[in-house]
Structure 1
């Protein structure tokens, strides 16, 4: 029988693309959903409700692998204290519940693979190229990622192989990061944010899904992996490249830092700061990116 992979966050941008890839590679897929959904030939849906600390235990007990993608969007709403709590708990609470069920039933998995983020290195901009050995930051993004990964470490304590996929900006057609900025860019109002010098660690959705597939199939993978292209893309270079692909040059002045800070509050750090990351550890495991050129990656998302 086909191995079963259970996804949290399976109905989101990454989850939908990953589900297709997993099915293409012969896996059966289960998805935890807050709403009632009809099962298909390839996908089984199970209910969960984090507000009631509830997960259908059958979903966990039937899984050979679990991939944890669920989490509230970082830049969807202003960072009030409540919003920051929701962002953190939406990432850690599912893992805690899964851990409890695994421990209760003495259930083992072939692997537990979790999303994480390069935000663990902090919302700062400098010339450092961060590796997985660098210390986490003590700002909101850094602390959130630390707690996220600590929750995953509890799964590892059960003797289950765990992989943490530290991701940055994910480029995909009509989804994710591009979905947020494309309306203004398509109208010719693309702009550079702040100084534009902040680095933007990016990855194409196809490469990200292949990383998750490799994390499932390669039992030598364990621990954290930076999952972004190692280059010097900045907000300015990304913005100018996207505008050029759409047939114009950016003409608006740079959006001032102080204005973005007033409008977005603390959340402005997520768009005004950013570091480069090294994907050397991942590539030493034999992973090869299909998209390493920003222009080509963006062009594939516009077709």
Structure 2
């Protein structure tokens, strides 16, 4: 099997993906600011540095690194960090692949359904739709534009526009399973495109193993859920009461500022293109949540 270089390998998705890749026989190298294990290598964007040894025998790069969108309030400084942590890292990888003359077979990058903007509409967004003009959309747009640099040197790319990732090891479900969030947010009618972490990892592996799985794909499950229907089903599966009162929009806006819009707005995102190339293990929210909490 080949050698794969992963950025963001110490995060929620990166850890699970590394586990799945190594169990299949792949060698996985991880880029991190503070290497602790044998397969971890140092990189530093401010210094434009990547340890050359990280690229030994590497055929594929999976780029997951990026500051957490919902981790901190969106100050101007934080907004810059959210963009730079994605765009500058991609450009650094591009520059080093050329400098070290790495014979890369494919560059695979995360992106987000935020590409379509924090809006609630009747539209079901497909990969061909244009981006919105809000901040969350700009992050994704700039990240994807940086990824497309690899096409200039004839390296195929795959971009996975990812929804809310469901996992038993943290992430969105951990935040939702609290008194504040075990209630619908705002009017609850905003859609929450989601994906089970196992399906997401399998899509990354498919991007490695299937040459035809190139271009942009929405990494979301086929079933559409609103924030309200999602919360009710979550409460049922974990056997916890869902608050009868929705969390008011103004409280979220006061607490989170501009970032609140990514929780209060959301449209349906189509998985049709992805579904034509991949069979989801967890196509329904009930099967996904049951797997996470009851198995």
> How far apart are the structure 2 equivalents of 1:193 and 1:51?
38
Which position in structure 2 is the counterpart of 1:295? 286
Which position in structure 1 is the counterpart of 2:165? 170
Q: Please, which runs of 5 or more residues in structure 2 have no aligned partner?
A: none
Q: Secondary structure at the match of 2:58?
A: coil
The equivalent position to 1:213 in structure 2, one of 202, 205, 230, is 205
> How far apart are the structure 2 equivalents of 1:8 and 1:203?
21
Which position in structure 1 is the counterpart of 2:61? 66
Post-superposition offset of 1:156:
1.6
The equivalent position to 1:83 in structure 2, one of 78, 81, 85, is 78
Which position in structure 1 is the counterpart of 2:175? 180
Which position in structure 2 is the counterpart of 1:22? 21
Q: Is the 8 A contact 2:12 2:169 kept in 1?
A: no
Q: Is the 8 A contact 2:110 2:159 kept in 1?
A: yes
Q: Report the TM-score when normalising by structure 2.
A: 0.96
Query: How many residues were matched structurally?
Result: 294
Q: Please, which runs of 5 or more residues in structure 1 have no aligned partner?
A: none
Post-superposition offset of 1:247:
2.0
Q: Is the 8 A contact 1:63 1:109 kept in 2?
A: yes
Which has the larger displacement, 100-109 or 7-16?
100-109
Q: Secondary structure at the match of 1:51?
A: coil
Counterpart check, 1:195 vs 2:190: no
Deviation above 3 Å: which 4+ runs of structure 1? none
Counterpart check, 1:141 vs 2:140: no
Which has the larger displacement, 67-76 or 189-198?
189-198
Post-superposition offset of 1:147:
0.3
Which position in structure 2 is the counterpart of 1:273? 265
Which position in structure 1 is the counterpart of 2:149? 154
Q: Secondary structure at the match of 2:158?
A: strand
Which has the larger displacement, 49-58 or 292-301?
49-58
Counterpart check, 1:33 vs 2:32: yes
The Cα offsets for residues 164-205 of structure 1, whole Å up to 9 and x where unpaired, read as 0110100000311112222438xxx72110010000000000
Q: Secondary structure at the match of 1:20?
A: helix
Which position in structure 2 is the counterpart of 1:5? 4
RMSD: 1.4
Counterpart check, 1:238 vs 2:230: yes
Post-superposition offset of 1:60:
2.8
Q: Secondary structure at the match of 2:217?
A: strand
The equivalent position to 2:221 in structure 1, one of 205, 225, 229, is 229
